[in-house]
Amino acid sequence: MKLPMDIKLARLRELMKTASPTLSKGQGDQESGGGGVGLSAYVVPSEDAHQSEYTAAPHKRRQFISGFTGSAATAVITMDKALLWTDGRYFLQAEKELDPDHWQLMKMNTPPFPEIHKWLADNCSRGSYVGIDPTLISENTWQKWGKELATRESKLVPVSQNLVDMVWAEAAEERLAYEEKELFVYPLQYAGEKWEGKVDRVKAQMEEEKCELLVVSELDEIAWLFNLRGSDIEFNPVFFAYAIISANQNPLLFVNQSKLTSEVKQHLEGVVLKPYEEVFTVLDEMVQKCVEQKLKVWMGPQVSHALASTVTGKDEKLLLVKNTPTKMLKAIKNECEVECMRQVHIKDGIALCEYLRILHTNLCRSSTGTEGSSKKEFTEISGSDMLDGLRSQQEGFISLSFDTISGSGPNGAVIHYKASPHTDRKLCADELYLVDSGGQYWEGTTDVTRTVSFLSSPPPKQVETYTLVLKGHIALAELVIPEGVIGYKIDCVARSALWEIGLDYQHGTGHGVGAFLNVHEGPQGISYRTNAHEEGLRENMILSNEPGYYESGQFGIRIESLMVYRKHVTKYTLHEGKKFLKPETITCVPLCRQLIDKSMLSDKEVNWVNDYHQFCWDKLTPLAEKQGKTELIEWLKKQTQPL
């Protein structure tokens, strides 16, 4: 039974009236401990208990309650209002998907819309309770919101029983059951380091910080640490688990037993395996010992309030909130991972080039302006299906690394576009086509965007803006940096060519990418946004380089390649040991020649393009030959000629 929105909200509001906050010591007013206190507002975040960006179907609570399907948003329900905060990428989609009779869109980072916690403080009556599932909010956010609410004598309260789940339970068939999927070992030939060695390096950092325990709750960190992968979340080869590393005992992994094959169990010899659900009780006991001995516990800033409060509820001073060592160690790839990532980009490049060749062959208009009648037709969806198929033919392919973005003409301007039968456009020579896609392979993860025109001379503004985006892409690809520079301090180099003529793009320039892990990973990034937990760029980190330009209702341009920061030998040496890094682009897919105005490029930029095309040719042709793709080699030959 699909519940109508008014029923859903009415049921939720019923539950809010009698909700029982779980107010343990240090978490709130002790006098209001027991029975229902009534909530003025209930907050439903997008994330799961691991603060995952992508979530499994049973965790899509915010989507269930609001009807909005985008990946990032927070819903707030009060007795008479229902509001959804989302960011600029999703304004159009949210306006379409939200039922205006019930829901109000709150635009993030857009005056005069207030931030969520400010709105809560200003709109809930003084002394109110605002409820949230404490496993779904990071400790950082908890602290910030709680402080704001306190200015109105209101309180953020943890409600352990998830109220949306209770409503959802009544709509049983709408909720996909959670399915246990088996883990698999990530072989040493790809991982490059045994998990035991990783644990030792983690422990060394714990020792430096004088921490007795480290709690790891982010799924990619756990998968990386133990050289395991899973299939619990679409696109991300991770599995639901928690890990606790203790200075002097064996590591603990909390994961459901039914996921564990005998191979995995053997691989994990020396790890204490516990059921997933036991993390809270086990941690509680371990923390108790730390408290008695005044030993510190380390958790990442994304850790849930529920986990953090096992420590803060006993002794606030014992909690160290700081990026976990697993996060940084995972992001700095070893040489084996780097080499695997290089290799995987060759086969991934073959798949995307083959797709672009087919489109090119079928869509390119001859110079007389007529289209050949024998040519095949493609739409955004049939095109991306073909691309997905080509990718899956490559050896070692596991899955896509995210939903392919396949946008023609105006749809290319929708940054997080997902084609639906509703919006599906026919690909045609008149429209610029943007395709952003990637795969998960045994050897690693890919993410690449190319924007192509099928015209021999595309409209001037498309050429101008493509060339400016390319200038930004080259500027970042060529930028030598001192190791440790934080990404937001260099993001501008990819924008300055656009700024000069009054243009810009409303997304970051680069995100971290995992090695057969999440396509978005921290702590590294290159964005115009300042992120307090972002860390500096280090040797062997992998990031995307993806400036763009989006002309609403007309076309979108993005040029995205992955790059690995490598040590750069400089002419001079500043003072002892200051290391400089330079990106090595590892994506092998030629750029769209017709969209480049050579006269706008400096000699150095022209050389960069020619060198890059030579690199694509050198890397792709041996594999294309091996795969017998002679037409592709012909096509590559043309595409990679010097400008």
- Give DSSP secondary structure letters for 458-512: --HHHHHHHHHHHHHHHHHHH--EETT--GGGTGGGGTHHHHHTT---SS-SEEE
Q: How far is the CB of 597 from a second copy (least distance, A)?
A: 14
* Residue (225 or 563) nearer to a second copy, CB: 563
Q: How far is the CB of 148 from a second copy (least distance, A)?
A: 11
Q: How far is the CB of 587 from a second copy (least distance, A)?
A: 23
Q: How far is the CB of 11 from a second copy (least distance, A)?
A: 37
Under the rule (CB under 8 A), what is the footprint of a second copy? 150-151, 317, 479-482, 485-486, 488-493, 496, 499-504, 528, 530, 570-574, 578, 580, 602
Q: How far is the CB of 499 from a second copy (least distance, A)?
A: 5
Question: Burial letters for 462-499: b for 16+ Cβ neighbours within 10 Å, e otherwise?
Answer: bbbbbbbbbbbbbbbbebebebebbbbebbebbbebbe
State the virtual CA torsion across 96, 98, 104, 110 in degrees, nearest 10: -50
Question: Burial letters for 97-120: b for 16+ Cβ neighbours within 10 Å, e otherwise?
Answer: bbeeebbebbbbeeeeeeebbebb
* Residue (95 or 174) nearer to a second copy, CB: 95
Six-digit token pair at 424?
């599906």
- Give DSSP secondary structure letters for 51-113: --SS--GGG-HHHHHH---SSSEEEEEESS-EEEEE-GGGHHHHHHHS-TTT-EEEETT-TTP
Q: How far is the CB of 607 from a second copy (least distance, A)?
A: 14
Q: How far is the CB of 585 from a second copy (least distance, A)?
A: 17
CA 294 to CA 317: how far, in whole Å? 9
CA 40 to CA 27: how far, in whole Å? 18
- Helix 305-312 vs helix 139-150: angle between axes, to the nearest 10 degrees? 80
* Residue (359 or 601) nearer to a second copy, CB: 601
Question: Burial letters for 306-332: b for 16+ Cβ neighbours within 10 Å, e otherwise?
Answer: bbbbbbbebbeebbbbebbbbbbbbbe
* Residue (49 or 476) nearer to a second copy, CB: 476
* Residue (104 or 530) nearer to a second copy, CB: 530
* Residue (261 or 570) nearer to a second copy, CB: 570
* Residue (36 or 313) nearer to a second copy, CB: 313
* Residue (469 or 517) nearer to a second copy, CB: 469
- Give DSSP secondary structure letters for 583-640: EEE-------GGG--GGGS-HHHHHHHHHHHHHHHHHHHHHHHHTT-HHHHHHHHHHT
Can you give the three-state secondary structure of 193-228, one letter per residue? Answer: CCHHHHHHHHHHHHHHCCEEEEEECCHHHHHHHHCE
Please check whether residue 515 is in contact with residue 236, taking contact to mean a CB–CB distance below 8 angstroms: no
Please check whether residue 505 is in contact with residue 412, taking contact to mean a CB–CB distance below 8 angstroms: no
Can you give the three-state secondary structure of 402-423, one letter per residue? Answer: CCCEEEEHHHHHCCCCCCCCCC
CA 575 to CA 369: how far, in whole Å? 61
Q: How far is the CB of 72 from a second copy (least distance, A)?
A: 21
Q: How far is the CB of 152 from a second copy (least distance, A)?
A: 9
* Residue (56 or 601) nearer to a second copy, CB: 601
Q: How far is the CB of 592 from a second copy (least distance, A)?
A: 21
Query: At 279, is the secondary structure helix, strand, or coil?
Result: helix
Please check whether residue 394 is in contact with residue 348, taking contact to mean a CB–CB distance below 8 angstroms: yes
* Residue (293 or 572) nearer to a second copy, CB: 572
Q: How far is the CB of 506 from a second copy (least distance, A)?
A: 10
Please check whether residue 309 is in contact with residue 283, taking contact to mean a CB–CB distance below 8 angstroms: no
Give, in order, the Cα–Cα distances in Å from 229 to each of 181, 310, 522: 11, 28, 18
Ramachandran quadrant class, 598 (left: phi over 0; alpha: psi -120 to 50; beta: rest): alpha
* Residue (386 or 485) nearer to a second copy, CB: 485
| Residue 408 CA to its chain's centroid (Å) | 24
Q: How far is the CB of 461 from a second copy (least distance, A)?
A: 9
Q: How far is the CB of 215 from a second copy (least distance, A)?
A: 20
Q: How far is the CB of 479 from a second copy (least distance, A)?
A: 6
* Residue (2 or 317) nearer to a second copy, CB: 317
* Residue (323 or 343) nearer to a second copy, CB: 323
* Residue (71 or 465) nearer to a second copy, CB: 465
